[in-house]
Amino acid sequence: MPSAKQLRQVFQTATSGDAESFQQIAEEIIRDERAKQHHLLANDLERILYGKPLAVGTVRQLKLNVPTDKERGLPLLSVYTPTRSLDDIVLSDENLSIVEEILLEHSRREILQSHGLQAADRLLFYGPPGCGKTVTAEVIAYELELPLAILRIDSIVSSFLGETAANLRSVFEYLQASKMVVLFDEFDALGRERADQSEHGEIKRLVNSLLQMLDAFKGSGLLIAATNHEGTLDSAVWRRFEEVLSFELPNLEQIKKFLELKFRGVRRNLLRDIPEWAKRFNGMSHADIERIIRRAIKEMVLQNKEFLEDKHLEASLKREDRRQRKIHRNGQESG
């Protein structure tokens, strides 16, 4: 781990935007970690630092200019520096090939443009929670070396009606001016408003103007909408997206890959091998599996063990089972 002095320097140089000093201290930390034989960490840090050189200053500037809700002063979206790459996720073959194609189109968009063609820049992600919609948006941003902006439709639409139109306008102006990957999360909030006949006509008008703004949007990055409730989106919404990606629970093959990914750099002493463990995680989302493994590793560390053992995973699975049963029970009571 870096020393307190190094950490202070990282924070100072990053917040003051002093890119050169930041680079120096970051490189010093990587050297130190390597000297301590922490090669995995050193490699990761190196990849973050050099892999895709997204200027620290760019994101900082973008963050300063984020539009806010006039009434409450709340930011209407959040801007992030993406850090996870294609190597950090497990996708279905179909999604991987679509994502690779989109990345290719964008890396060669000038050539496409010279032929009067556009790179696909409107994507819709749907599927149950925890299967990679948000992280895939992050990965696309990372691979394209662009900042990631995330906004929730409901935080814009559910504020005071008069303000909503103004919010929408300022969001789109902001997006239009900067090259980013934009994720409209919880996009179904939009579908819900449209489906609800009892709603005020004004909301309907707002939703229609949102759809028009989507149509008119000519940002130079990518626009991604994500939803867990695709059933509530009507065909007017679906039509607006050039590529639609379905994110499902991982199958056994994908669970195996995911376990290998999550066990990367973890010393293991497992009696049962990965294919066997994969079966135990069948039917769970990536996020659930990740939580169970993280908890097992925590257990191992707290017990001062150097190797991950079957019993750590077993205990963690048992805890997850209790957790799910509580969620299920309470979900039924309130639903």
Ligand X SMILES: Nc1ncnc2c1ncn2[C@@H]1O[C@H](COP(=O)(O)OP(=O)(O)O)[C@@H](O)[C@H]1O
Positions 5 through 44 that interact with ligand X (CB under 6 A): none
For the bound state, the minimum distance from the C-beta of residue 226 to Mg ion, rounded and expressed in Å, comes to 6
- Interface mask (CB under 6 A) for ligand X, residues 86-125, using x and -? ---xxx----------------------------------
Q: Which of 80, 81, 133, 172 binds ligand X (CB under 6 A)?
A: 133
Residue 116 is classified by DSSP as T
Instruction: Measure the CA–CA gap between 243 and 124, rounded to whole angstroms.
Output: 6
Q: Which of 95, 134, 136, 316 binds Mg ion (CB under 5 A)?
A: 134
Q: If binding is defined by CB under 5 A, does position 285 make contact with Mg ion?
A: no
User: From CA 310, how far away is CA 307, in angstroms rounded?
Assistant: 10
Of the two residues 134 and 178, which places its CB atom closer to Mg ion in the complex? 134
What distance in Å separates the CA atoms of residue 141 and residue 180, rounded to the nearest whole number? 7
Task: Check residue 95 for interaction with Mg ion (CB under 5 A).
Answer: no
Binding residue for ligand X, selected from 9, 81, 134, 164, defined by CB under 6 A: 134
Residue 265 structure tokens: 């750099």
For residues 308 and 296, the answer to whether their CB atoms sit within 8 Å is: yes
256 binds, among Mg ion, ligand X, none (CB under 5 to 8 A by kind): none
What is the three-class DSSP state of 304?
coil
- Note whether 153 and 226 are within 8 A (CB): no
> Whose Cβ is closer to ligand X: residue 119's or residue 225's?
225
With 0-12 / 13-18 / 19 or more C-beta atoms within 10 angstroms meaning exposed / middle / buried, residue 129 is exposed
Residue 149: strand pairing partners: 79, 182
Work out whether strand 148-152 and strand 78-80 pair parallel, antiparallel, or are unpaired: antiparallel
Amino acid of residue 106? H
Q: Which residue is nearest to Mg ion (CB)?
A: 134
CB of 187 to ligand X, least distance (A): 11
Q: Which of residues 265-294 bind ligand X (CB under 6 A)?
A: 286-287, 290
90 binds, among Mg ion, ligand X, none (CB under 5 to 8 A by kind): ligand X
What separation in angstroms does the CA of 9 have from each of 14, 23, 79, 181, 308?
8, 11, 23, 30, 34
Residue 132 near which of ligand X, Mg ion, none (CB within 5-8 Å, type-dependent): ligand X
Applying CB under 6 A, which of residues 247, 259, 284, 320 lies at the interface with ligand X?
247
- Tell me which residues touch Mg ion (CB under 5 A): 133-134
- Tell me which residues touch ligand X (CB under 6 A): 89-91, 129-135, 247, 286-287, 290
